[in-house]
Amino acid sequence: MIERIVLKWRRYMLPIVVGVSAFVGQLAFASEGGDGGGGHGHFAVLFLWIAILLLLAKLSSLVERWGQPSVLGELVMGVILGNLALFGVTDFFEAMKHSEIITFFAELGVVILLFQIGLESNIAEMKKVGARALGVAIIGVVVPFVLGAYIVGPWLMPGLDQVAYLFLGAAMTATSVGITARVFKDLGKLQIKEAQIILGAAVIDDVMGLIILAVVSAIATVGAVTLGKISMITGTAILFLVGSIVIGQLSAKVLGKWFSKIHTGVAMKFTLAIVFALVFSWLAGLIGLAPIVGAFAAGLVLDPVHFKYFKDPKIVQDVKEYAEKIDPELKDKFSRMMHRHSHRHIEDLIEPLGHFFVPIFFIVTGMAVNLGTLTNIPILLVALGVTIAAFVGKLVSGLAAGNVDKWLVGWGMAPRGEVGLIFATIGKGLGVVSDEVFSVIIIMVIFTTLFTPPILSHILKKKEA
Amino acid sequence: MIERIVLKWRRYMLPIVVGVSAFVGQLAFASEGGDGGGGHGHFAVLFLWIAILLLLAKLSSLVERWGQPSVLGELVMGVILGNLALFGVTDFFEAMKHSEIITFFAELGVVILLFQIGLESNIAEMKKVGARALGVAIIGVVVPFVLGAYIVGPWLMPGLDQVAYLFLGAAMTATSVGITARVFKDLGKLQIKEAQIILGAAVIDDVMGLIILAVVSAIATVGAVTLGKISMITGTAILFLVGSIVIGQLSAKVLGKWFSKIHTGVAMKFTLAIVFALVFSWLAGLIGLAPIVGAFAAGLVLDPVHFKYFKDPKIVQDVKEYAEKIDPELKDKFSRMMHRHSHRHIEDLIEPLGHFFVPIFFIVTGMAVNLGTLTNIPILLVALGVTIAAFVGKLVSGLAAGNVDKWLVGWGMAPRGEVGLIFATIGKGLGVVSDEVFSVIIIMVIFTTLFTPPILSHILKKKEA
């Protein structure tokens, strides 16, 4: 009975839930003013917000029914929530958009996602594709930059200051790897060579993005940039990456042993892993790289072997014990079989954190999309041209990927996400990026972000078939 | 080699790590001003803070070596961090103390702890001890209140306004169940009858605390309180508790089925559980109860049976499959054996969130302790008298616990934690609680919070031996 109703009403479920949430939200918002008096519940409304975000994220995974990756559902859900103002519902989600705590949850979400991706990746595999990733990254930075700063920019928006074109080009270089990584993860394809190349290229991209940002900012403020400054930024970033991986690998071994002296339980194992992720993210942020680069490096560095001094998960112990009770020989068989699960245990421990934080990142990313920018037709047309150039620039980069699906790598590099927005925001802050150029960049980011997941998912599924 | 060094230096580890952390903290704090320019890393220092808190929490679990529950280690670590100013180190942890995000993490931590405790508890068992829990709660509210407001207060601090004594008495009534629950959880004793009685009594306590707060606040502001208002508050609170449990049980059944229609995976299962916890916490906060009461109710309501439509955890599937490959009969044996693990799966999924958030609550609670209040000898002496009365009041309540270890129940009810502080803060806000009375309440809270864990742990271990 209930099944029948659910099946029948499934198509209406999304709008109904969004509507009900918005109503409950209004209620919560209204009630926030009058605290019952207990002094409790200062943060109570945040509990509700997080619950609603997680619920809507899961409901939006219904897009899987139509063959789309669930990350697209989360992004679109975010776009809907972020633009409810267009439908006359404002208060609740507006307040959520400006909540520092929700923003931090989102930031932590993408850090944990890249940490998970790093844990599933493998340094040896990454090294194998290193040269190709470098090639993809360089082409994927140079071509979009040249297209944006010297061809499409001056052509579609003539008469602007040269620095504005530089910022446009710079905003077109960055890759936002979170979206691509999530699509590969959703489809269980993180281990294929293309995924490894994209991940490697994205990390290198972030380093190059750092350099480009320093250069164009310097040109915008003092009119020039010294080679010394460029070398210093480049040197610091490379030193961080190489250093963190080398020192990380060495210290993980020692720390694993050290921590297991205090306690060999699950809590300690979990803490060791998450502290690695957080400290690496902090270090990356400290030198101006994206924290996610640090989180990815932390995941890459950590290896099951570093946790060998800790106890097996309870369930693995139980199975071994039980098998031994039945037959000692059976125990050996099951021990071999359970080996993989002990190895995966760290990933299993981080997974619930992922379920908690990661969807918030993608919904919040979607919420940042202002559909209002799409209503100005002349700007929209310019932005479409810039978007095409942005896609072309990254698709070309796939050519450097060697003997793999170049098309897949090219599309994988396409999403610009929040990194493009950072360039636009800084340029605006420096007064060289006008409102129009800013809107153009934002629309380009929206399109590259929203169009890529279904395309990637389509390619991956066709490949499999 | 490393073992030897670690063992030798273990005793110095805590001060060394605190020192190093403080230094790194200073560095981070200093670097915060000069953002590298990437626009990244707005929140980067928070990653470091959380990492340090988690690390120190785990290091403080070394107190287990001396037979103490690790929650005591976390509290004491918090007291040290919160009072580094006494040793000339201020900037870093001061900023952390006032971080809204860290405060929210702490609040979420205690919510998740009580949700976990609720998951491990069982409605049927709670009902069995209901009458005794009610008795414990009533005595544990009436006796401390009478002692504080009419005997110890006027005797030790003569000449104050009658309303000040009322607030002192009120602050002595509240039980802060998080600490006791954590001790029982640390020692794996949540299933014993005493634990169930304490949990039940603490929930009832919170309802009575709500009523008392409304009454004394009304007396302080308008000089009197109507019976109608008391009845309304009482009615709302009871309605919430009964209603949430009844509606929760009914809806969990339907929602479990509904959600499994969207997806039968782990992420959906996890989300269903955590959304329950968050929504119940929000609802509790909305009507003026502590969010933890809602979280506990949510855990109590959720039952493995609500998740029966979801897939088994991967590892359970694998074991069954493997056993079947060896021998179909073996599969049945292992299926029965794995049944328990499928049942526990929700608790396993919530556990990593617990490892992430819960220690932050206890360290932050410790950080709120201002050791400076202990230096005023006359106030300290008065506070000691009040503390003794506070302990006596709760120990007497254990007498209502019936045929169990009354002593254990009494001590379990003793910690006042943040609930006592809320009373003191509201009284101060209304201008009826003077600085002296405020300090006395705070010291009473400190003592009842810090002395209880080792005593409980001692009683529990002696019981076992």
Q: Give the pair of three-digit tokens for residue A268.
A: 């300690």
Contact, A365 vs A137, CB < 8 A?
Answer: no
Q: Is the pLDDT of residue B1 over 50?
A: no
pLDDT of amino acid B20? 44
pLDDT of amino acid B16? 44
Instruction: Name which of A16, A40, A286, A345 to mutate to probe chain B: the one with the most chain B Cβ atoms within 10 A of its Cβ.
Output: A40
Distance CA A135, CA A386 (A): 23
pLDDT of amino acid B282? 93
Contact, B405 vs B196, CB < 8 A?
Answer: no
Binding-face residues of A in 394-433 toward B, CB within 8 A: 422, 425-426
Convert the pLDDT of each residue in B356-372 to its tens digit. 999 998 898 888 777 88
* Residue closest to A291 by CA, chosen among A113, A415, A446: A113
The DSSP secondary structure of A421-457, one letter per residue, reads HHHHHHHHHTT-S-HHHHHHHHHHHHHHHHHHHHHHH
Q: Are residues A174 and A55 in the same domain?
A: no
Binding-face residues of B in 280-339 toward A, CB within 8 A: 281-282, 284-291, 315-316, 318-319, 322, 326, 330, 333-334, 337-338
Mean pLDDT confidence for B433-442: 86
pLDDT of amino acid B350? 95
Domain count, chain A: 2
Contact, A60 vs A73, CB < 8 A?
Answer: yes
Contact, B389 vs B172, CB < 8 A?
Answer: yes
Q: Give the pair of three-digit tokens for residue B106.
A: 């702490």
Instruction: Name which of B182, B251, B282, B342 to mutate to probe chain A: the one with the most chain A Cβ atoms within 10 A of its Cβ.
Output: B282
> How much is the pTM?
0.84
Q: Give start and end residues of each alpha helix (H) in A33-99.
A: 44-60, 70-82, 91-97
Q: Are residues A196 and A298 in the same domain?
A: yes
Domain ranges, residue B276: 117-464
Q: Is A268 on the interface with B (CB under 8 A)?
A: yes
Are residues B422 and A47, on separate chains, in Cβ contact within 8 Å? no
Q: Are residues A180 and A289 in the same domain?
A: yes
Q: Are residues A51 and A189 in the same domain?
A: no
pLDDT of amino acid A38? 38
Q: Which residue has the higher pLDDT, B217 or B386?
A: B386
Distance CA B284, CA A206 (A): 45
Cβ count near A236 (within 10 Å)? 17
Contact, B262 vs B274, CB < 8 A?
Answer: no
Contact, A110 vs A348, CB < 8 A?
Answer: no
Q: Considering chain B, what is the average pLDDT of its residues?
A: 83
- Does B112 reside within a domain? no
CB-CB: which of B61, B274, B349 is closest to A54?
Answer: B274
- Does B17 reside within a domain? no
Residue B408: C-alpha distances to residues A123, A243, B39, B199, B446 (Å): 53, 53, 54, 13, 20
Q: Which residues of B touch A262 (CB under 8 A)?
A: 58-59, 61-62
Which portions of chain A are predicted below pLDDT 50? Answer: 1-41
pLDDT of amino acid B19? 47
- Does B309 reside within a domain? yes
- Does A37 reside within a domain? no
- Does A357 reside within a domain? yes
Contact, B388 vs B138, CB < 8 A?
Answer: no
The CATH code of the domain that includes B141 is: 1.20.1530.20
Range from A18-32, B194-208, B302-316 carrying the lowest mean pLDDT: A18-32
Q: Are residues A89 and A110 in the same domain?
A: no
Distance CA A458, CA A343 (A): 32
**Tokens 């919510």, residue located:** B111
Are residues B275 and A422, on separate chains, in Cβ contact within 8 Å? no
- Does A34 reside within a domain? no
Q: Which of A57, A81, A98 is the last residue of a domain?
A: A98
Binding-face residues of B in 158-187 toward A, CB within 8 A: none
Phi, psi of A43, deg, nearest 5: -100, 5
DSSP, collapsed to helix, strand or coil, labels residue A414 as: coil
- Does A297 reside within a domain? yes
Q: In chain B, what percentage of residues exceed pLDDT 90?
A: 28
Distance CA B446, CA B410 (A): 18
Q: Is A12 on the interface with B (CB under 8 A)?
A: no
Are residues A356 and B353, on separate chains, in Cβ contact within 8 Å? yes
pLDDT of amino acid B23? 44
- Determine the angle formed by the axes of helices A70-82 and A435-464, rounding to 10 degrees: 150
Q: Are residues A175 and A267 in the same domain?
A: yes
Residue A287: C-alpha distances to residues A108, A419, B310, B338 (Å): 18, 16, 45, 48
Are residues A6 and B334, on separate chains, in Cβ contact within 8 Å? no
Are residues B270 and A352, on separate chains, in Cβ contact within 8 Å? yes
* Residue closest to A56 by CA, chosen among B201, B312, B259, B352: B259
Q: Are residues A366 and A217 in the same domain?
A: yes
Q: Is the pLDDT of residue B9 over 70?
A: no
